[in-house]
């Protein structure tokens, strides 16, 4: 399904590149390098006349070609930077022909700045309308980065969703909960209304025969889940090593090992499920079970290789040889996964990790606060990464309905002395964003109704006994905590057609939205006719990002209940640390 | 036969072997004006007629008073006055219409105005050179004005929105030596039609063709003085009138002579007033009250009038207007001739006859229908096409009903075509209604286009008809409502709330209509409140925002742009407002919209910190200023710069009680940096930029424990943290002796002694780590046993386990160490327990 999206994006980009004839240089915004790598290879770029790719920054390469292509987001800063380049070309009397490819669409601010800088006439501005990058067969991401949750995400989310609808048809139904979900639905309707105005009442596109509905998951309702340490294999990989556009950077120890074993250097490893059957099987497994599972796979591969000795006849030999390629590829994949798993295991043995898990569990279980902060002090003394400390503080702020002033002050001192004075700014930014809150002495009843304890009482978020080996409950993703976001979303999915449950859905915290694109009666019969009986396809859209554990939870529900088939679209993949990093300022290193 | 319906053929005249039809299409009531006495222009495709006084009749007398001085009266072809246009007090040289039914008026001094039917106009000049010379005559083609100047040269202007001027080559001097220019016409450039029009000029007996570069003399045998020249609508033929009373028609490339006709003496004696083409195959001549139709093969038909007519060429005929009549003369369309020719036995004629007999319940009807057999499809098509070309509604019905009778007998007939024809006829008949007065034929309709026809309805303020016709033809009609509203705003003197109410009421049925153009019109008319309120109904937020900015309604623009949730647009609007306003006003308006402030702050932090600082300052936002100040400290590159910056930030924080902790923290950082500079002077190694913790560790590692202790008190480092730092520092430099001394000096460690074991063990020194296991008094027995095993002391582990007197603890231990030689200690302890 997402393969067409990728092919389409590739063709479009190469079309844009080929519209600039001859040899040219590509100046690439650093943040887009992962997306570009997902779509085309370096070899492909060379075949299309781009021998060299440079980072797009203040420095202009000396050996730049006579034609240049800038690939960047259409931001104010990038417009200024392009203008600086063009004026420098003019000062140097260089006849550089410049083209700007913006991802995904241009905007009035970007173009106005270019005009005001006097360079708009010197440029060709084109659009590469790739709104969502396919990361896996069932996963698309807008790749908006670890941005703060704010309303500007909604515009781009709406654009991406409408772009998806142009290919797959309009969703018959939109459901969700939360302020951002409600606003996004409103924006969706408004955008279609605007399109109808432009087209004199004609709205393009038919109702999708493929999708039952889109389910909006609002990150603002569940700020807890990202701040917990993910414990599925992919989730833990993202926490420890970082996953970028479904690629993981291999630790140097693994690279060295592979070089020694003559498999060639592999700096990056693709985690896409289409690249390896093993990857697909182990991606959502609880990390505690990864070792035994990999051992089992290793034994199976060995027995498959034994097939060589069993091959007696020509046909049997031919069968084995045809399997050999995939066997070798799976073997390579297994080696890498084993190495990655070992790296992750080493991380669990450091002097703060277990304390961190323990503290997180205490917080989501609503235990007493004194023990919590003793543990956090010890984590700081162990010099855990500052992101981990802030994650715990945010988590505590949410679960305990705000921190006491003296506790915040205590940790401001601890953190600034241990990690640097500039984290005063981090504290302030988190407070401004509402992720860190001071406990208020007034409005107690209102705050209680909106607090974490309400959700704790509504859904079985915490389970003490979880079967990680053969999970029955989504709490396996965190070894005892099931993502609140998934509980909320799945509750809507199961309850939205039930008269009694609808009333309950409407009375829960956060705005409940459920909107049919056309009259319900017109959509249902058609839907029932075309869909596979019993299996309904739902696009789950995460506003404000999602974690790999949340995907794993949905996939578990999909597999266990066999009622739905999920496709995921998200503004970006997040971890608690990536969210925190968006609030940490950069500090210049000092010279004498 | 129904005697009440006049048979169409009664209007037909046979000219050699071709029938021509002259139809009276309405009784004209030009308000007692005789058009022939005035300067006039008739719009193509059945459009309006404009009448004004020419220079020759500017003097006042009873005959001309109906047209006021310096006015242009515009009528529809049924004689209704549509509009009176006002003209400046200058002499007119010509008027013409374009296909948008806009009137182009040219003065002798080269001033050009383009009017619409509402009386609005824009104007431009043909240039200073033209003003000085003066214009003698002008002609019009689609999209352009062509002028003959007083100095016998030609120019043209095309594209009225952005006029583009062209100058033609001069006529050779020797040609003009003995003769004057008598007539001229426009002809497409034979080599490149895209290059525009050439001009054909008659000078006495000579004919010249002129383009921008050159003039070419054409030779025509026996040609005498030519007083009139006219080109056919398809530009393929030229008609020439020689003053001796002869008509010639030649091909427009001058290669072939098609007609050479001498008129009767009685006609030739009169002066020719007009010569015009009737479609593309006949020419009409007007001599006083006599109109003569000249056919392509030399025949002629005379028409005598009570009053001198004026004529105007159409693509398919010619319009004839007199004081009391409005007529259309054309070659009879083939489908009509096919059916209505006397004695016609064509399939179409038979089908009509069958239908008429069926209405009379004649037994022969069925038989006639059956006789058509394979010709029935052709018959139906002919009837359908005939109905489109028929003016009489009664005969249209007969033809359509005959066609319907026929098509219902056909198995495979495209009914949609029939439906489309019915729709088109509804529009054409509506246009021909005397109250509308657009007498358009089907061929002219195809030439003009449906959209332009409906546009004509709207320009005549026949909005209901425009909407209805759009619905019949299933095309968008929102633009009609918009035009209605725009005109209403321009013409109404009602209070703004009444106007707003009426517009909204009328447009509320249009769910997706855009109000932006209407609001813009209100703004241009000076109705600011109305404009702003109308914008509230605009569904496209970006349109709202752009117009509000244009109107300098900055507060409303800001309010609207926030609703879009489009940060780029929000920043754009904020920056536009900032450019236009005084800074204090900008801040004031921004303060009212927190959502915009949030977006702007994020933007300005990166791109305009100076303004942001001023913004926070005027709002007395000390925290905002403090954040900026602290952020600025991060950008400094040297210690001294940073200290200066930190002092500045600390000063900002000192002005607010809520920021006292921040102030202290910044003060500590200043103190820390100063100490770091001192340490770098005194000791080797880098200190600058480290955190408090890192400095403590470094000092301990270089054996400056006293200074480390001083930092502890100066920066109020908690006992626990300090202990951790000291331990980690000493382990890093492997100073086991100092660790032992330090541990020995404490009866109780603030962090317990477990970290001593784990940290030293991590450094790989099992022997040293073992020293502190006995002092881990808060650990459980199991935990201590685990530690002993980790340091490799099985004997001590077994002794520890034995204290618990627990078989399970000893059993577990034995299982773990059974491969080691020391496992005998565990075995002995276990045996001891069991004994």
Residue A590: list chain B partners with CB under 8 A: 636-639, 642, 688-689
**Cβ within 8 Å, pair B717-A417:** yes
Lowest-confidence pick of A264-268, B210-214, B661-665 = A264-268
Whether the per-residue pLDDT at B743 is higher than 90: the answer is: yes
Can you give the CATH number for the domain in which A294 is found?
Answer: 3.90.830.10
Question: What is the per-residue pLDDT for A255?
Answer: 61
Average pLDDT over every residue of B605-609: 88
What pLDDT does B56 receive?
A: 57
Check CB contact of A428 with chain B, cutoff 8 Å: yes
Do A91 and A196 sit in the same domain of this protein? no
CATH of residue A369's domain is 1.25.40.850
Question: What is the mean pLDDT of the segment spanning B572-595?
Answer: 90
Q: How many domains does chain A have?
A: 4
CB atoms closer than 10 angstroms to residue B388: 21
Residue A456 included in any domain: no
Residue of chain A with shortest Cα separation from B666: A421
Better pLDDT: A4 or B668: B668
Phi (first) and psi of residue B493, to 5 degrees: -115, 15
Chain A contact for B633 (CB, 8 A cutoff): yes
Same domain as A21, residue A121: yes
Is A405 part of the contact surface with chain B (CB cutoff 8 Å)? Answer: no
Q: Which B residues in the span 721-760 are in contact with A, Cβ-Cβ below 8 Å?
A: 721, 724, 751, 758
Are residues B665 and A590, on separate chains, in Cβ contact within 8 Å?
no
Nearest to A26, CA basis, from A38, A13, A11, A12: A13
- pLDDT at B2 (0 to 100): 44
CATH of the domain at A8: 3.40.50.2060
* pLDDT score for B10: 66
Is B630 close to A422, i.e. CB distance below 8 A?
yes
| A532/B12: higher pLDDT | B12
Query: From residue A175, how far is each of A218, A506, B323 by CA, in Å?
Result: 11, 12, 72
What does the pLDDT read at residue A262?
40
- A244 and A199 co-located in one domain: no
Min distance B487 CA to chain A CA atoms (Å): 21
Chain A residues within an 8 Å CB radius of B680: 592
DSSP codes joined into one string, B284-323: EEEETTEEEEE-TTS-EEEEE-SS--EEEEETTEEEEEET
Q: If contacts are CB pairs under 8 Å, which of residues 101-120 in chain A contact chain B? A: 107-110, 112
Choose the weakest-confidence range: A437-446, A539-548, B12-21, B802-811: A437-446
Contact B635 A414 (CB under 8 A): no
Q: Do A11 and A27 reside in the same domain of the chain? A: yes
Please report the sign of the dihedral spanned by the C-alpha atoms of residue A75, residue A80, residue A81, residue A85.
positive
- What token pair was written down for A564? 């739905």
User: Which one of A72, A107, A130 terminates a domain?
Assistant: A130
Provide the mean pLDDT of chain B. 85
- DSSP letter for each residue of B449-464: -HHHHHHHHHHTT-HH
Rounded mean pLDDT, B660-686: 90
Using a CB-CB cut-off of 8 Å, the residues of chain A touching B720 are: 377, 381
Phi/psi at B94 (5° precision): -175, 160
The answer as to whether A73 is a domain residue is yes
Q: Of A440, A463, A489, which residue constitutes the final position of a domain? A: A440
When pLDDT is averaged across residues B774-794 and rounded to a whole number, the result is 86
Residue B272 has pLDDT above 90, yes or no: no
Averaged pLDDT, B603-615:
91
Query: Shortest Cα distance from A109 to chain B (angstroms)?
Result: 5
Q: Closest approach of chain A CAs to the CA of B562, in angstroms?
A: 10
Contact status of B688 with chain A (Cβ, < 8 Å):
yes
How many distinct helices (H) and strands (E) make up chain A?
A: 25, 15
Chain B residues close to A414, C-beta within 8 Å: 718, 721
Whether residue A464 lies inside any domain: the answer is no
B661, B663, B666: which to substitute to probe chain A, counting the most A Cβ within 10 Å? B661
3-state SS class at A72: strand
Per-residue pLDDT tens digits for B157-208: 877 767 767 788 888 877 887 788 888 998 887 766 655 788 888 888 888 8
Q: State which H helix or E strand residue A124 sits in.
A: strand A123-127
Taking the CA of residue A130 and the nearest CA in chain B, the distance in Å comes to 18
Mutate to test the interface with B, among A424, A425, A585 (most CBs of B within 10 A): A424
Residue A238's pLDDT band (cuts 50, 70, 90) = very high
How far, in Å, CA of B33 to CA of A56, rounded?
76
| pLDDT score of A337 more than 60 | yes
A187:B565 CB<8 A: yes
What average pLDDT score do residues A173-200 get?
A: 84
For A200, the closest of B478, B661, B665 (CB atoms) is: B478
- By DSSP bridging, strand B12-15 and strand A564-570 are unpaired
Confidence of residue B266 (pLDDT cuts 50, 70, 90): confident
Do A343 and A383 belong together in one domain?
Answer: no
pLDDT in tens, B753-776: 989 998 998 899 988 999 899 989
Winning range, highest mean pLDDT, from A460-469, A525-534, B579-588? B579-588
Together in a domain, A125 and A7 = yes
In this structure, what CATH number is given to the domain that contains residue A490? Answer: 3.40.50.1910
Residue B16 has pLDDT above 80, yes or no: no
What pLDDT shows up at residue A529?
43
Instruction: Tell me the residues of chain A between 152 and 181 that have a Cβ less than 8 Å away from chain B.
Output: 152, 154-155
Q: At B35, is the secondary structure helix, strand, or coil? A: helix
Chain A residues closer than 8 Å to B631 by CB? 425, 585
Listed range (A183-197, B453-467, B588-602) with the worst mean pLDDT: A183-197
B668 interfaces chain A, CB cutoff of 8 Å: yes
Interchain CB distance below 8 Å, A585 and B540: no
Question: Using CA atoms, how far apart are residues A433 and A403, in angstroms rounded to an integer?
Answer: 15
Range of the domain at A121: 2-130
Asked if residue A448 is part of any domain, the answer here is no
Residue A125 shares a structural domain with residue A135: no
Residue A228 belongs to a domain: no
Nearest to B638 among A351, A418, A590 (CB): A590
pLDDT of amino acid B3: 47
Partners of A588 on chain B (C-beta within 8 Å) are: 634-637
Last residue of a domain, one of A440, A465, A497: A440
Q: Which of B616, B664, B693 to mutate to test the interface with A (most CBs of A within 10 A)?
A: B693
Enumerate the residues of chain B whose CB falls inside 8 A of the CB of residue A80. Answer: 607
Contact A4/B at CB under 8 A: no
Please determine, for residue B228, whether its predicted confidence score (pLDDT) is greater than 50. Answer: yes
Residues of A in contact with B607 (CB under 8 A): 76-77, 80
Question: Is B325 within 8 Å of B30 (Cβ atoms)?
Answer: no
Tell me the nearest-neighbour CA distance from A4 into chain B, angstroms.
29
For the cut 90, the answer to whether the pLDDT of residue B11 exceeds it is: no
Reference B462, options B393, B470, B522; nearest CA is: B470
The yes-or-no verdict on residue B361 having pLDDT over 90 is: no
Contact A590 B692 (CB under 8 A): no
Which residue in A152, A381, A421 is closest to B665 by CB distance? A421
Whether residues A216 and A185 fall in one domain:
yes
Question: CA of A529, closest CA in chain B: separation in Å?
Answer: 32
**First CA to last CA distance, chain A:** 57
Does B413 touch chain A if contact means CB atoms closer than 8 Å? no
Share of residues in chain A with pLDDT > 70 (%):
86
Q: Which of A456, A455, A476, A458 is nearest to A466 (CA)?
A: A476
Specify whether A336 is located in the same domain as A383: no
Q: Give the number of A-B residue pairs with CB atoms closer than 8 Å.
A: 131
Please give the pLDDT value at position B69.
64
Same domain, A360 and A345: no
Q: Among residues A452, A393, A403, which one has the least CA distance to residue A426?
A: A393
Q: Using pLDDT thresholds of 50, 70 and 90, give the confidence band for residue A458.
A: confident
A451 within a domain of the structure (yes/no)? no
Residue B277 is predicted with a pLDDT of 93
Let me know whether A505 and A585 are in one domain: yes
Instruction: Indicate the pairing of strand B310-314 with strand B317-322.
Output: antiparallel
Alpha-carbon distance A396 to B650, whole Å? 30
**In a mutagenesis test of the B interface, which of A76, A197, A199, A425 is the best target, namely the one with the most B β-carbons within 10 Å?**
A197
The answer to whether the Cβ–Cβ distance between A197 and B666 falls below 8 Å is no
pLDDT surpasses 80 at B33: no
Q: Is the same domain home to A199 and A165?
A: yes
CB contact under 8 Å between A421 and B666, yes or no, is yes
Does any domain span residue A241? yes
> Any chain A CB within 8 A of the CB of B565?
yes
């Amino acid at each position: 399904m997402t393969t067409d999206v990728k092919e389409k994006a590739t063709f479009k980009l190469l079309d844009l590149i080929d519209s600039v004839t001859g040899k040219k240089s590509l100046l690439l915004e650093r943040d887009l390098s992962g997306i570009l790598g997902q779509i085309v290879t370096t070899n492909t770029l060379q075949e299309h006349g781009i021998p060299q790719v440079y980072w797009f920054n203040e420095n202009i390469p000396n050996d730049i070609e006579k034609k240049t292509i800038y690939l960047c987001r259409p931001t104010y800063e990038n417009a200024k930077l392009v203008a600086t380049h063009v004026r420098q070309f003019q000062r140097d009397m260089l006849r550089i022909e410049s083209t700007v490819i913006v991802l995904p669409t241009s905007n009035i601010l970007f173009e106005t700045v270019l005009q005001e800088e006097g360079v708009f006439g010197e440029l060709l501005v084109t659009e590469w309308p790739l709104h969502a990058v396919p990361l896996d067969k069932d996963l698309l991401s807008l790749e908006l980065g670890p941005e703060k949750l704010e309303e500007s995400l909604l515009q781009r989310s709406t654009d991406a969703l409408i772009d998806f609808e142009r290919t797959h048809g309009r969703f018959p139904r939109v459901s969700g909960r939360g302020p951002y979900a409600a606003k996004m639905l409103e924006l969706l309707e408004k955008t279609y209304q605007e399109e109808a105005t432009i087209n004199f009442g004609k709205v393009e596109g038919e109702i999708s025969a493929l999708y039952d509905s889109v389910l909006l998951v609002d990150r603002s309702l569940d700020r807890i889940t990202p701040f917990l340490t993910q414990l599925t294999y992919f989730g833990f990989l993202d926490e420890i090593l970082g996953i970028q556009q479904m690629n993981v950077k291999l630790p140097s120890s693994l690279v060295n090992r592979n070089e020694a074993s003559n498999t060639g250097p592999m700096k990056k490893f693709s985690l896409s499920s289409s690249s390896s059957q093993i990857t697909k099987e182990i991606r959502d497994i609880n990390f505690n079970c990864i070792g035994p599972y990999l051992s089992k796979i290793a034994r199976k591969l060995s027995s498959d290789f034994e097939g060589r000795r069993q091959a007696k006849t020509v046909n049997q030999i031919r069968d084995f040889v045809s399997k050999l390629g995939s066997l070798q590829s799976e073997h390579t994949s297994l080696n890498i996964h084993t190495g990655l798993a070992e790296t992750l295991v080493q991380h669990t043995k450091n002097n703060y990790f277990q304390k961190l898990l323990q503290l997180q569990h205490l917080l989501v279980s609503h235990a007493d606060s004194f023990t919590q902060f003793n543990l956090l002090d010890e984590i700081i003394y162990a010099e855990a990464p500052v992101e981990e400390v802030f994650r715990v503080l945010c988590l505590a702020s949410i679960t305990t309905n705000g921190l006491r002033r003296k506790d915040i002050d205590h940790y401001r001192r601890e953190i600034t002395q241990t990690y640097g004075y500039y984290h005063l700014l981090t504290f302030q930014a988190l407070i401004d964003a509402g992720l860190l809150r001071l406990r208020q002495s007034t409005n107690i009843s209102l705050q209680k109704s909106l607090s974490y304890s309400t959700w704790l009482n509504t859904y079985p978020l915490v389970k003490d006994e979880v079967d990680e080996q053969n999970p029955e409950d989504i709490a396996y993703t965190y070894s005892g905590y099931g993502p609140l976001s998934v509980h909320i979303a799945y509750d809507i999915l199961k309850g939205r057609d039930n008269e009694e449950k609808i009333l309950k859905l409407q009375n829960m915290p956060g705005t409940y939205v459920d909107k049919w694109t056309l009259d319900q009666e017109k959509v249902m019969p058609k839907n029932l006719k075309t869909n596979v009986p019993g299996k309904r396809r739902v696009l789950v859209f995460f506003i404000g990002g999602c974690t790999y554990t949340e995907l794993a939870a949905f996939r578990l529900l999909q597999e266990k209940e066999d009622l739905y088939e999920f496709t995921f679209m998200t503004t970006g993949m997040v971890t608690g640390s990536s969210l925190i990093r968006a609030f940490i300022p950069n500090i210049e290193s000092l010279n004498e | 036969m129904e005697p009440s319906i006049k048979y169409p053929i009664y209007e037909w005249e046979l000219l050699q072997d071709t029938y021509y039809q002259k139809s009276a299409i309405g009784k004209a009531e030009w308000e007692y004006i005789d058009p022939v006495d005035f300067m006039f222009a008739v719009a193509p495709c059945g459009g309006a007629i404009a009448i004004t006084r020419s220079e020759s009749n500017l003097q006042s007398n009873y005959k001309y008073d109906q047209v006021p001085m310096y006015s242009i009266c515009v009528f529809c072809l049924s004689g209704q006055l549509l509009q009176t246009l006002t003209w400046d007090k200058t002499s007119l040289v010509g008027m013409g219409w374009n296909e948008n039914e806009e009137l182009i008026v040219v003065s002798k001094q080269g001033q050009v105005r383009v009017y619409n039917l509402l009386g609005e106009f824009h104007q431009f000049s043909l240039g200073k050179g033209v003003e000085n010379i003066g214009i003698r005559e002008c002609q019009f083609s689609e999209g352009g004005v062509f002028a003959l100047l007083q100095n016998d040269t030609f120019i043209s202007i095309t594209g009225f929105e952005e006029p583009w001027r062209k100058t033609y080559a001069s006529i050779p001097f020797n040609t003009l030596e003995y003769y004057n220019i008598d007539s001229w016409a426009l002809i497409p450039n034979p080599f490149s039609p895209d290059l525009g029009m050439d001009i054909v000029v008659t000078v006495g007996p000579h004919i010249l063709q002129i383009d921008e570069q050159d003039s070419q003399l054409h030779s025509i045998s026996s040609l005498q003085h030519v007083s009139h020249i006219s080109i056919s609508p398809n530009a393929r033929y030229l008609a020439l009138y020689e003053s001796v009373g002869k008509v010639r028609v030649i091909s427009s490339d001058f290669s072939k002579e098609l007609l050479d006709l001498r008129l009767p003496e009685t006609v030739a004696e009169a002066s020719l007033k007009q010569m015009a083409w009737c479609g593309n195959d006949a020419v009409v001549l007007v001599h006083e009250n006599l109109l003569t139709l000249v056919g392509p093969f030399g025949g002629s038909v005379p028409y005598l009038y009570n009053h001198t007519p004026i004529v105007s060429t159409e693509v398919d005929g010619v319009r004839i207007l007199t004081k009391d009549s409005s007529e259309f003369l054309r070659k009879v369309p083939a489908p009509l001739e096919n059916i209505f020719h006397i004695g016609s036995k064509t399939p179409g004629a038979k089908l009509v006859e069958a239908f008429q007999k069926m209405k009379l319940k004649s037994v022969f009807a069925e038989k006639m229908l059956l006789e058509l057999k394979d010709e029935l499809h052709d018959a139906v098509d002919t009837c359908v096409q005939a109905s489109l070309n028929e003016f009489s509604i009664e005969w249209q019905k007969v033809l359509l009903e005959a066609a319907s009778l026929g098509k219902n007998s056909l198995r495979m007939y495209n009914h949609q075509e029939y439906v489309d024809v019915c729709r088109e006829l509804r529009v054409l008949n509506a246009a021909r209604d005397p109250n509308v007065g657009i007498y358009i034929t089907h061929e002219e309709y195809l030439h003009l286009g449906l959209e332009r026809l409906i546009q004509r309805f709207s320009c005549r303020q026949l909005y209901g008809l425009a909407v209805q016709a759009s619905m019949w033809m299933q095309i968008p009609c929102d633009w009609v409502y918009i035009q209605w509203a725009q005109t209403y705003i321009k013409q109404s003197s009602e209070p703004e709330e009444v106007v707003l109410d009426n517009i909204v009421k009328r447009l509320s049925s249009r769910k997706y209509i855009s109000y932006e153009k209407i609001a813009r019109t209100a703004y241009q008319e000076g109705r600011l409140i109305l404009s702003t309120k109308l914008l509230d109904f605009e569904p496209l937020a970006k349109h709202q925002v752009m117009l509000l900015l244009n109107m300098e309604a900055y507060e409303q623009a800001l309010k609207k742009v926030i609703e879009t949730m489009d940060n780029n647009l929000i920043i754009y609007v904020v920056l536009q407002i900032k450019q236009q306003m005084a800074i204090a006003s900008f801040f004031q308006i921004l303060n009212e919209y927190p959502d915009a402030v949030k977006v702007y702050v994020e933007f300005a932090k990166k791109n305009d910190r100076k303004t942001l600082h001023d913004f926070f300052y005027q709002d007395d936002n000390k925290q905002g200023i403090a954040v900026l100040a602290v952020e600025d400290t991060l950008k400094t590159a040297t210690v001294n710069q940073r200290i200066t910056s930190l002092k500045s930030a600390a000063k900002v924080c000192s002005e607010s009680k809520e920021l006292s902790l921040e102030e202290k923290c910044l003060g500590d950082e200043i103190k820390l940096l100063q100490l770091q500079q001192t340490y770098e002077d005194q000791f080797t190694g880098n200190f600058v930029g480290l955190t408090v913790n890192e400095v403590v560790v470094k000092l301990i590692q270089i054996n400056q424990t006293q200074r480390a202790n001083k930092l502890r008190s100066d920066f109020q480092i908690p006992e626990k943290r300090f202990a951790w730092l000291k331990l980690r520092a000493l382990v890093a430099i492997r100073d086991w002796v100092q660790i032992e001394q330090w541990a020995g000096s404490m009866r109780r460690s603030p962090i317990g002694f477990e970290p001593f074991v784990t940290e030293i063990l991590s450094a790989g020194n099992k022997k040293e780590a073992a020293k502190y296991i006995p002092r881990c008094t808060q650990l459980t027995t199991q935990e201590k046993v685990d530690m002993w095993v980790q340091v490799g002391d099985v004997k001590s582990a077994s002794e520890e386990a034995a204290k618990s007197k627990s078989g399970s603890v000893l059993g577990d231990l034995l299982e773990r160490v059974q491969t080691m030689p020391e496992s005998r200690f565990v075995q002995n302890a276990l045996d001891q327990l069991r004994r």
